[in-house]
Amino acid sequence: MKKYQGISYKNVHITDGFWKNRQTINAEVTSHAVYNRFADSHRFEALDCSWKEGMNYTPHIFWDSDVAKWIEGAAYIIAKNHDTQLEQLCENAIDMIVENQTKEGYFNSYFLVMRQSERFKHRGYHELYCAGHLIEAACAYYEATGKDKFLRAMCKYADYIYDTFYVYQTASFTTCGHPEIELALVKLYDTVGDEKYLQLSKFFLDKHGNNTKDTYTNKYHAQDQLPLTEQHTAEGHCVRAMYLYSAMADIARHYDSDAYLEACRAIYDDAVNKKMYITGGIGSTKMGEAFATDYFLPNDVAYTETCAAISLTMFCKRMQLLSADSRFADTVERVIYNGFLSGVSLDGKSFFYENPLEIDPYFANVNTASEQKRHMPIMQRVELFSCSCCPPNVLRFIASIEELMYTYDEHTLFVHQFMNSEAAIQQSVIRQTTDYPADGSLKITVEGTDFAQIAVRIPGWCTGFTADKPYTLENGYAYFAAEGEINLNFDMKVQLYEANAAVQNNAGCVAVARGPVVYCLEEADNGKHLRSLGISSQAAFSLEENDGYKVPVLLTQGLRKKEQEGLYRVYSRECEQVTLRFIPYFAFANRGVSEMLVWTRVMD
Amino acid sequence: MKKYQGISYKNVHITDGFWKNRQTINAEVTSHAVYNRFADSHRFEALDCSWKEGMNYTPHIFWDSDVAKWIEGAAYIIAKNHDTQLEQLCENAIDMIVENQTKEGYFNSYFLVMRQSERFKHRGYHELYCAGHLIEAACAYYEATGKDKFLRAMCKYADYIYDTFYVYQTASFTTCGHPEIELALVKLYDTVGDEKYLQLSKFFLDKHGNNTKDTYTNKYHAQDQLPLTEQHTAEGHCVRAMYLYSAMADIARHYDSDAYLEACRAIYDDAVNKKMYITGGIGSTKMGEAFATDYFLPNDVAYTETCAAISLTMFCKRMQLLSADSRFADTVERVIYNGFLSGVSLDGKSFFYENPLEIDPYFANVNTASEQKRHMPIMQRVELFSCSCCPPNVLRFIASIEELMYTYDEHTLFVHQFMNSEAAIQQSVIRQTTDYPADGSLKITVEGTDFAQIAVRIPGWCTGFTADKPYTLENGYAYFAAEGEINLNFDMKVQLYEANAAVQNNAGCVAVARGPVVYCLEEADNGKHLRSLGISSQAAFSLEENDGYKVPVLLTQGLRKKEQEGLYRVYSRECEQVTLRFIPYFAFANRGVSEMLVWTRVMD
């Protein structure tokens, strides 16, 4: 099995540009904003395990995971910024966890106070999911600070899980209802090297759809519809699915399992070719927060959870370690500039759980005689959700986004993502100088002799590029000799995209994109009734710099259907010329409640 | 207050053409099909009030209304066809009702066996709704046969209701959760002339939103949001609302109440200008089976109950008695050729409850990890529903459709609807010779001297017509001297209609109509992915006769977007020329499960 090495976020320093801006906001604003909302909502306090009936909060089954993801994100920031204030906040939380850990190694702030006697009895109560996030956080904190107190505690917890689930099998279930432990155990193995963790991860994977102990309300929700190696389509709760698929890719790599690898490849193809929004959003329906029928991609009720977008990159990142095929990095790029980034406000303080591709505030609360309401995504980001998994996921993701940039083997360094940065990989130093994605020019310099060649991804959206060095193209990468300086230029012309005819709700419409960035119309710029607007398929666009977005706004001449009185009338082609202003999709809903539309009508 | 007289269905004989065909199917097939399904499902048996625990059925709160509507429909057929078999079936049912009526006059096959002691204690249990339908049926049966046994029994019931609700006010509620009794009492008054019934009807109306006794889970659902005279928008459960508005129009007329009339006019404008599908369907959401927010008119999940379509014509019919304005008859026409008629199969045996304007079978059962399902309309008509209000409503409506054709006052006969027919009104005989709506030519002859003038509705859809006699136009009617023969010709060219920009889901699309008939595309004729098809706004149509539909099929050259591999690609204008075949909307779903689309894309 062909394999590649990944890198640590610690190896790369993003120096300027789009992601530097985002990492700065993430470190300076988001880390504290999430901390404060978690503190307000007693999530840190709960770690103390001193909750009693009558107190002004009630611990929740997934709070540990929220805190763990925050620690993990904070750890990445600490490693780079040496932020002692953040470190102290982490230490306080870690102390509470370690102090309240049982002798056997168990820790769960919910079960320890609410269901002391019900430990490992409820498959659907996120116990191992929380454990997994604590393990990931402990690994991250150790890597960031070198302090191993948390890591040792979580190794002890992992040992206890190993005994309970693998050796003695005394738990009431075999696999957790919400995957996460599987990939966390691989990370723990990668950190400490103990093979039992890898073994336990594989055990969990092998048991999915393959044991008589576990029950489920819905087999797809629990990923039990088939043994994982026989799954070839992306199904069920989207985040749960992708976390599990990520672990499958990990296990495929560590165990040279072609069966797991083939399943991963098939699942990837299914997800990306039939179930993904153009923004990289996945999980189109709130019903089960799940993948739905192929091509079911409604825009206004798109669920497309921010965590699902992140989880898709997690899966792609692992697939990059098993293949030199650019489509994984293409998908990562689609996600990070669109359906992931829309999940956080430009100021870094507030978040979307759902990332729809169309908003019409007028219809957001359809009024009827019924007490029932249609479920519609919220229209403005908020600072905290009761199920607040997304905010700390954003924090840890942006803080470690460098890990998506490179992979390598003994000959070749693969450049997947383009950010103004300096990286130290093996004994080599790689510099990228670029204003990507605002601009398509990219200079890459390599110092050092580790790699014979450098393979630069030619983005899937790119219909033309130039390079000043000879190259060969293979599976989406341009292979250059790794010496000196390479200058590339990706043609960043604005493109109009259409969807497969099976996505009937997008018929007659196009998505406007420039480079990897998908754009949208907002009422704030274009008035109401955005579906009354149309662009020509031959539209010429002008660019307007925007320092807030770090990519340009797009302007073009379009048409607005003449407004009419009454409900129905004989069709008239009467239109007025208007200037359409497209902003990056990721920036929608930063100027108050407003109509928003990605799929814009073609009017010619 | 200006008032007009209505006519009885008995005054008109439809001799040939579109509605003759439908009335024949209705009398010969639908009457028996509905009877048989109601018999199978024990709805007639239940009238016997001999149900005991353990029997193979359970009486239901609205079964009496189902049977009553069937008797009412059968009565109309008996009056015309002298169908002794139908009459015997009616007699059997009537006997059971009369035999089981209590001494006080009460009859309800559900309460008498299931909740003997709970009579008039549950506002939401359809008790007076069932009573209302029994009263309507009794009036109809008396008018059809001259037999008064059922009528006398129902007068006794009405007297008991009068005492209980009006005189002694001993019921636990003031107005029924499901209106119907109000308009039935007016019909009873019109039949037997006792003013107490009119008084009671007005009492019920006056009490809506105007009493402290009634509680509700949702004030709109129960039409209690405001006193009725202060209501100016169409709200709440659509059928309940329209039945109540119909009674309001009745009471406005009988009591010369400007307050009720003004409320009716405002409500009508609101319903028709902001909440009606182009098919005349109303009640756009299943949530509460209700009117929704203005311009919320989704096509695939359009609720648009068949009974709601009927109830809109009931309201319009009453408004025609209060105004010489063609917009009421225009709406009736929109409903009867489209959103009502789609409710019954061409063979008369099966029915839709919901009448969507778009069907995509592929997305009808979106598969997710959740146990929840999206509610989607069924795609093929069925013979019986558990809540089977629509089938007998179709029966009684088609059997008495003549009543929508004419109104008159001392000077003028108003011709609202066009059917090949002969009518006796006062001492005059009016003949219509027409192939409407297949063709726009219409000959009207009047014999007799009752009317100085004849006012012929010029349909709202008609952009050009000719007449061979002089006329003056006023409020949508052409006024002719009532002598001899009048020949009119309505230009029946195919028209493309667009919706108000606020109906965002119809942007860029047109509805194809010819005369009053709205058309649709079906997969059976046009292949899958109907939204990939487009027509030119300048499209020329050819007509193809169709004996099954009794109106022509429309053919035009259109475009089909080239199908593509993959999920997204750079937009291409590549299309192929195709012949588009539009069938009447009312005829959809008569050839198996199939995609269907009313709002078709304009591609130029």
Instruction: Look at residue A459 in the predicted model and tell me its pLDDT.
Output: 98
Instruction: Look at residue A539 in the predicted model and tell me its pLDDT.
Output: 95
Asked if residue A335 and residue A210 are part of one domain, the reply reads yes
CB contact (8 A) between residue B366 and residue A296: yes
Asked if residue B230 and residue B200 are part of one domain, the reply reads no
CA of A347, closest CA in chain B: separation in Å?
31
User: How far apart (Å, rounded) are the C-alpha atoms in residues A17 and A498?
Assistant: 30
Half-sphere exposure at residue B360, Cβ-oriented, CA atoms within 13 angstroms: 19
Query: In this structure, is residue A453 part of a structural domain?
Result: yes
CB contact (8 A) between residue A293 and residue B503: no
Q: Is the peptide bond before B437 cis (omega within 30 degrees of 0)?
A: yes
Query: By CA distance, what is A287's nearest residue in B?
Result: B370
Query: In this structure, is residue B69 part of a structural domain?
Result: yes
Residue B16 neighbours by CB under 8 Å, 6+ apart: B420
User: How far apart (Å, rounded) are the C-alpha atoms in residues B459 and B476?
Assistant: 7
Query: By CA distance, what is A506's nearest residue in B?
Result: B531
CB contact (8 A) between residue B529 and residue A511: no
Instruction: Look at residue A248 in the predicted model and tell me its pLDDT.
Output: 98
Express each pLDDT in B411-446 by its tens digit. Answer: 999 999 999 999 999 999 999 999 999 999 999 999
Query: By CA distance, what is B601's nearest residue in A?
Result: A508
Quote ipTM for the complex.
0.95
The DSSP annotation for A529-598 comes to: -GGGEEE-TT--EEEE--TTTSS-EEEEEEEEEPP-SSSEEE----EEEEEEEEEEGGGTTSSSS--EES
CB contact (8 A) between residue B567 and residue A503: yes
Asked if residue A314 and residue A430 are part of one domain, the reply reads no
CA of A171, closest CA in chain B: separation in Å?
25
Asked if residue B433 and residue B390 are part of one domain, the reply reads no
Asked if residue B262 and residue B122 are part of one domain, the reply reads no
Q: Are B140 and B188 in contact (CB under 8 A)?
A: no
Task: Indicate which CATH number applies to the domain containing A111.
Answer: 1.50.10.10
Q: Are B369 and A291 in contact (CB under 8 A)?
A: yes
CA of A126, closest CA in chain B: separation in Å?
17
Query: By CA distance, what is A365's nearest residue in B?
Result: B293
Q: Are B554 and B519 in contact (CB under 8 A)?
A: yes
Judged by DSSP in three states, B89 sits in helix
Sheet with B12-14: list strands edge to edge: B12-14, B421-425, B428-434, B441-447, B484-490, B465-467
Asked if residue B510 and residue B485 are part of one domain, the reply reads no
CB contact (8 A) between residue A601 and residue B566: no
- Single out the residue in B426, B458, B490 at which a domain terminates: B490
Asked if residue A597 and residue A517 are part of one domain, the reply reads yes
Write out the residue range of the structural domain in which residue B551 sits: 494-602
- Single out the residue in A490, A521, A554 at which a domain terminates: A490
Query: By CA distance, what is B560's nearest residue in A?
Result: A501
Query: In this structure, is residue B36 part of a structural domain?
Result: no
User: Residue B359 forms beta bridges with which residues?
Assistant: B596
Query: In this structure, is residue A29 part of a structural domain?
Result: yes
Instruction: Look at residue B365 in the predicted model and tell me its pLDDT.
Output: 78
For A22, A88, A92, A190, A282, the CA distances from A249, given in Å and listed in that order, are: 29, 35, 35, 14, 19
Nearest to A228 by CA among A251, A194, A253, A198: A251
User: Residue B496: its chain A contacts at CB < 8 A?
Assistant: 570-571
Interface test mutation site (partner B, options A568, A600, A603, max chain B beta carbons within 10 A): A568
- Single out the residue in A450, A473, A490 at which a domain terminates: A490
Judged by DSSP in three states, A242 sits in helix
Asked if residue A597 and residue A471 are part of one domain, the reply reads no
Asked if residue A454 and residue A512 are part of one domain, the reply reads no
Express each pLDDT in B223-249 by its tens digit. Answer: 999 999 999 999 999 999 999 999 999
**Using CB atoms, which residue from A237, A362, A500 is nearest to B369?**
A237
Query: By CA distance, what is A460's nearest residue in B?
Result: B569
**Using CB atoms, which residue from A285, A563, A573 is nearest to B366?**
A285
Q: Are A567 and B276 in contact (CB under 8 A)?
A: yes
**Beta carbon pairs, A and B, within 8 Å:** 210
Express each pLDDT in A343-397 by its tens digit. Answer: 999 999 999 999 999 999 999 877 766 656 778 999 999 999 999 999 999 999 9
Query: In this structure, is residue B15 part of a structural domain?
Result: no
Asked if residue A296 and residue A399 are part of one domain, the reply reads yes
User: Residue B288: its chain A contacts at CB < 8 A?
Assistant: 368-372
Nearest to A133 by CA among A42, A186, A68: A68
CB contact (8 A) between residue A569 and residue B498: yes
Q: How many residues does chain B have?
A: 604
CA of B561, closest CA in chain A: separation in Å?
8
Parallel, antiparallel, or unpaired: how do β-strands A596-597 and B533-535 relate?
Answer: unpaired
User: How far apart (Å, rounded) are the C-alpha atoms in residues B459 and B516?
Assistant: 8
Asked if residue B504 and residue B420 are part of one domain, the reply reads no
Task: Indicate which CATH number applies to the domain containing B437.
Answer: 2.60.420
CB contact (8 A) between residue B566 and residue A287: no
If phi > 0 it is left, if psi is from -120 to 50 it is alpha, else beta; for residue B140 that is: alpha
Interface test mutation site (partner A, options B334, B338, B495, B567, max chain A beta carbons within 10 A): B567
Residue type, A102: T
Total-model pTM? 0.95
Instruction: Look at residue B216 in the predicted model and tell me its pLDDT.
Output: 74
Percentages (nearest 5) of helix, strand, coil residues in chain B:
40, 20, 40
CB contact (8 A) between residue B502 and residue A564: no
Q: Are A291 and A222 in contact (CB under 8 A)?
A: no
Q: Domain count of chain A?
A: 3
Show the low-confidence residues of chain B (pLDDT under 50). none
Query: In this structure, is residue B7 part of a structural domain?
Result: no
User: Residue B368: its chain A contacts at CB < 8 A?
Assistant: 220, 285, 287-288, 290-293
Task: Indicate which CATH number applies to the domain containing B134.
Answer: 1.50.10.20
CB contact (8 A) between residue B510 and residue A571: yes
Show the low-confidence residues of chain A (pLDDT under 50). none
CA of B9, closest CA in chain A: separation in Å?
32
**Using CB atoms, which residue from B296, B363, B570 is nearest to A296?**
B363
Query: In this structure, is residue A374 part of a structural domain?
Result: no
Instruction: Look at residue B261 in the predicted model and tell me its pLDDT.
Output: 98
Asked if residue B533 and residue B465 are part of one domain, the reply reads no
Query: In this structure, is residue B329 part of a structural domain?
Result: yes
